[in-house]
Structure 1
């Protein structure tokens, strides 16, 4: 059969940085760190450079078949991905000297309630980006954490209004008894103002140290524990109360959230490098507050 890409010369000479395919439909099997392998629908991108100016194109079918062969036969691990990268590069020997791959999918993880015995499923987006070239193999793991953020400034202003309401309701010249104050605190007047909070998201990308497995749950636990207010699944009244307490104990601007995650990841010896972007989707403003940090 004729092979136009191999036989025909390019219309003009030149090297190409990347050539390949993006948004390939595929299936991956992944252990998030709990010992259970899930089968997930994935989108895959694979690219090589073209270092031969006399060749019109690459062998895209070889890339596709190797992707399908490796992902069908093996669960996603760092050694498997590195082996796949070497096979992709070998398939384009003398045509390319570097390769990159991206894999994105969604992982279901069971999360326990804050107080009750219940639990529920959370979906976490996962991205894996790997490259292989003369400098070696590199891999980055990415995910997102959704959490609640209560504004410290709004909390201070709310406390001031509660103080003013207290001064209005209780005459400073008279003795105030414990029962009256306790009843007042439990009434609507005792919370005449409340701070604004919003659903927020932290996007995390980490480069793991050599030999470290793709433990998504360990990464999520570090980030969620550093923030203190990850969103919940199954919620009974005791869980909602515990969540309200967590929000009151973890007032944060977007800068605070980024620094909390930064401290947690800096302390992790199994993470070689990272990038963080937090976004607070303001309930006060029509725009979002954003902060970035890195190692």
Structure 2
């Protein structure tokens, strides 16, 4: 006698009757308290900003106001976030996602929030030559809906060079003192002075400079048609005058040295420049500026910041 092992038939997934899947989030909580924020962080999300593809990190969440609910429906937030993919990101789409968060949690939540972070790649030309290259500009975008009002905030980071005014003055003094030592006993003509200025023995000191960072955070009108990342970056770089470069040739390096000499800056000077550059357009929604000079003289950083709150938040 032979025997055959026959597997039991599996039910057709399209026609089989199954018990409802349990919804643990809807069950009563152990502690019937409300929560300010429940959601997810560090979600990978592809975006388009200023026409460039950006792989961003997203945080999404809502308040939990219903004391009788154990939790929220995170999968609904995740699904709504995908509406930000594949097309240019703007304020209207962010507001739409916040509305979807709250609509999918009606009776549970009254506050919704989305935060996005990444780096925007922009091609930047050299100062003089035809050279060009790409720079990355870190950004953060925060959108929040509460009591029917949407608040929108944009933050960017911009790198620049800062040359210390005190160091420049001391270097000039050292060069003058060397000049006196070399020529105190004789009269000199312009050609001799010019030749002396081109020698390392003449320029005995140079001012110190350092790579520096400006973090600018601006409030935006939630009805703004586009997110002004490139225009805000350009405004910051123009105000500082010494934006970090990409590909350069010698003529560009010379132009950069001239720019540093014409834009001597303590951290206090840099933050005041940016305050002046932002005030006219961004004061109605408020803004913050934080600059950091990564000192080449000291083993610490020099920092300065200013905050201008929107008139109704003072």
Superposition TM-score, scaled by structure 2 size: 0.88
Q: Which runs of 5 or more residues in structure 2 are unaligned?
A: 1-20, 309-314
Q: In the alignment, what sits opposite 2:279?
A: 266
Q: In the alignment, what sits opposite 1:52?
A: 66
Question: 1:125 offset after TM fit, Å?
Answer: 1.1
Q: 2:58 aligned with 1:38, yes or no?
A: no
Q: In the alignment, what sits opposite 2:288?
A: 275
Question: 1:174 offset after TM fit, Å?
Answer: 3.2
Q: In the alignment, what sits opposite 1:66?
A: 80
3-state SS of 1:272 partner: coil
Q: In the alignment, what sits opposite 1:34?
A: none
Question: 1:267 offset after TM fit, Å?
Answer: 2.6
3-state SS of 2:286 partner: strand
Q: How many residues align?
A: 287
Distance in 1 (alpha carbons) for counterparts of 2:214 and 2:163: 15
Contact 2:46 2:86 in 1 (8 A): no
Question: 1:84 offset after TM fit, Å?
Answer: 1.0
Contact 1:208 1:270 in 2 (8 A): no
Contact 1:66 1:84 in 2 (8 A): yes
Judging changes above 3 Å, is the alpha-carbon distance between structure 1 residues 174 and 73 closer, same or farther for their aligned structure 2 residues?
Answer: closer
Summarize the alignment of residues 95-174 of structure 1 with structure 2, pairs less than 5 Å apart: 95-134=108-147, 136-171=149-184, 174=186
Contact 1:63 1:88 in 2 (8 A): yes
Contact 1:206 1:271 in 2 (8 A): no
Question: 1:38 offset after TM fit, Å?
Answer: 1.9
Summarize the alignment of residues 182-261 of structure 1 with structure 2, pairs less than 5 Å apart: 182-209=194-221, 211-212=223-224, 213-261=226-274
Question: 1:92 offset after TM fit, Å?
Answer: 0.5
Question: 1:189 offset after TM fit, Å?
Answer: 2.4
Kindly provide the CA deviation profile for residues 174-228 of structure 1, in whole angstroms up to 9, marking residues without a partner as x.
Answer: 3221111111111112310011100000011111235432121110111001000
Distance in 2 (alpha carbons) for counterparts of 1:210 and 1:270: 15
| Aligned match for 1:18, one of 22, 37, 40 | 37
Contact 1:74 1:80 in 2 (8 A): no
Q: Which has the larger radius of gyration?
A: 2
RMSD: 1.4
Superposition TM-score, scaled by structure 1 size: 0.94
Judging changes above 3 Å, is the alpha-carbon distance between structure 1 residues 210 and 96 closer, same or farther for their aligned structure 2 residues?
Answer: closer
Distance in 1 (alpha carbons) for counterparts of 2:222 and 2:115: 19
Kindly provide the CA deviation profile for residues 50-71 of structure 1, in whole angstroms up to 9, marking residues without a partner as x.
Answer: 1111110011111011112x12
Contact 2:38 2:64 in 1 (8 A): yes
Contact 1:45 1:102 in 2 (8 A): yes
Distance in 1 (alpha carbons) for counterparts of 2:265 and 2:231: 23
Q: 2:103 aligned with 1:90, yes or no?
A: yes
Runs of 4+ in 1 over 3 A off after TM superposition: none
Kindly provide the CA deviation profile for residues 209-259 of structure 1, in whole angstroms up to 9, marking residues without a partner as x.
Answer: 354321211101110010000000111000000000000000000010011
Q: In the alignment, what sits opposite 2:7?
A: none
Distance in 1 (alpha carbons) for counterparts of 2:272 and 2:257: 22
